[in-house]
Structure 1
Amino acid sequence: MQTQWIDIGLNLTDSSFRNDIEAVLKRAVDQGVGKMVVTGTAIDGSEQAVKLCQQYSDLLYCTAGVHPHDAKSFTTATADTLRDLYKEPCVVAVGETGLDFNRNFSTPEQQIKAFEVQLELAAESGLPLFLHERDAFKTQFEMLKSYRDQISNAVAHCFTGEKEALYGYLDLDLHIGITGWICDERRGTHLHPLLKDIPAERLMLETDAPYLLPRDIKPKPKSRRNEPYHLPHIARKVATLLDKPEEQLSAETVANTQRFFNL
């Protein structure tokens, strides 16, 4: 099937995919998800992501970075390992990196330090940034702003924020990644009117699998595991909210993704 969609963020190194990756990828491809970007959230996970990409080089790319939850483990050696990973052709972005002041598995100070080094690595490597942010918009915005001229590009992955955050990120010329959060009638409806404020050339789509299974999928999968083959379901919701044909959304988001990650 021709590529209709690209999933810019899925956690394929998660243990829930350990025993059936081949089947997961086949289901995705059968639904028109022709390329996928595996998220690296720690050194070991980023190295695993590279190995997966080498195994499925026709389908997969990946990011390499340290998530704010793991910032406490970030050292000089971490930065050196990331530099080596950025030389791999399948690594297309720095991240997942950013700030998360919601749960603070690492202290804000540790997160800021690790994020700053990864901002420097993005500037040094020329790779775009794959960004996480939760309850930390003001600090993250200011840090991004100070580095923005040195960074090729950046995406606010899994955007779930409010209007202020969206406008702030768009002011910095960031791309916006939308997930199945948009399908959540409890906590995602605030995003519905904001979608139309995202320029067509800045929008990208993702599942964040195995997390964020769209709540309006029927029947619900028994495992509750999200998979990349659900991306077209998310896309249909986005197309409906934008009052836009699916074919147009497909063409726009695929072009955006290919350009952003230099695929």
Structure 2
Amino acid sequence: MFDIGVNLTSSQFAKDRPAVVERARAAGVDGLLITGTDLQESQAASDLAQQHAGYCWSTAGVHPHHASGWSEDTAARIRQLAIRPEVVAIGECGLDFNRNFSTPEQQEEAFSAQLALAAELGMPVFLHCRDAHARFAALLAPWLDKLPAAVVHCFTGTTQELDHCLSLGLSIGITGWVCDERRGLELRALLPRIPADRLLLETDAPYLLPRDLRPKPASRRNEPCFLPHIVRQVATWRQEDPEWLGQKTVENARRLFRLV
């Protein structure tokens, strides 16, 4: 099992980050990808990955929520981070028209700049898309033949959006969102449509604690040690063997992010 989306820099982990990593190891998780969401968090994610070299890696980028802070200086510093060996993807980048913490124009500028940077450096991209699929795909498509790989992190879209992402050659990241009986049922039904070699699994910890986790943790904080639960549930809904699926998603992650 490999968790491709862990917000380990979150203040929710401030008191016990080393223990969180050790619990993930003890649960059988083979590796963690720590998400960078702005310049400061990307730096922190890289530093954390260095501390757990060979088990943790990181991304470097600017989330659409923070796109208003994109600048030439930000781009230069993300570039400097990206050449570190533990940094294996550009992102989290993309579009989020659900909340528009940054304007759509600012988001599009930052997204396009990060796609150009990833293409220049020959790096995969770690993508975010919420309520913005048409524009997201339009901006992304011209870059795909220049990028080694791309994954849509925490996919929660429609059947049509999933099929379009797959037609573009994108990999799909699935979280514990599918374990939510209130809002995850549509996504759960889509799981069999994802080819096994395009599927990646993630917790998005500390967010999206699986609602069907038993016994229910005392804290609402999600952790990468809960990834085995997500693997088992996804395997059940895809009618696959959990051990096989867990190993397959490890292979997918190591191939996509070119991990050794």
| Partners of 2:152 and 2:172 within 8 A in 1 | yes
1:228 aligned to 211, 224, 229, which one? 224
**Superposed structure 1 runs of 4+ greater than 6 Å apart:** none
2:40 aligned to 37, 44, 47, which one? 44
Aligned equivalents of 1:138, 1:235: Cα separation in 2: 30
- CA drift at 1:193: 2.1
Residue number in structure 2 paired with 1:168: 164
Aligned equivalents of 1:224, 1:79: Cα separation in 2: 35
- 1:31 matched to 2:20: no
Aligned equivalents of 1:54, 1:151: Cα separation in 2: 25
Residue number in structure 2 paired with 1:142: 138
1:102-131 CA distances to partner (integer Å, 9 max, x unpaired)? 000000000000000001011001110100
1:253 aligned to 214, 238, 249, which one? 249
- With 100-109 and 192-201 compared, the bigger mean Cα shift is at 192-201
* 3-state SS in 2 of match to 1:132: strand
Residue number in structure 2 paired with 1:132: 128
- 1:64 matched to 2:46: no
Aligned equivalents of 2:54, 2:133: Cα separation in 1: 36
Unaligned runs of 5+ in 1: none
> So what's the TM-score if we normalise by structure 2?
0.98
Counterpart residue identity of residue 157, structure 1: H
Counterpart residue identity of residue 156, structure 1: V
Aligned equivalents of 2:247, 2:20: Cα separation in 1: 24
Aligned equivalents of 2:188, 2:178: Cα separation in 1: 7
> So what's the TM-score if we normalise by structure 1?
0.97
2:5 aligned to 4, 9, 21, which one? 9
Unaligned runs of 5+ in 2: none
| Partners of 2:94 and 2:127 within 8 A in 1 | yes
* 3-state SS in 1 of match to 2:173: strand
- C-alpha RMSD over aligned residues: 0.7
Residue number in structure 2 paired with 1:210: 206
Aligned equivalents of 1:162, 1:88: Cα separation in 2: 36
Aligned equivalents of 1:206, 1:134: Cα separation in 2: 17
Give the number of aligned pairs: 259
Residue number in structure 2 paired with 1:183: 179
- 1:76 matched to 2:72: yes
* 3-state SS in 2 of match to 1:190: helix
Residue number in structure 1 paired with 2:104: 108
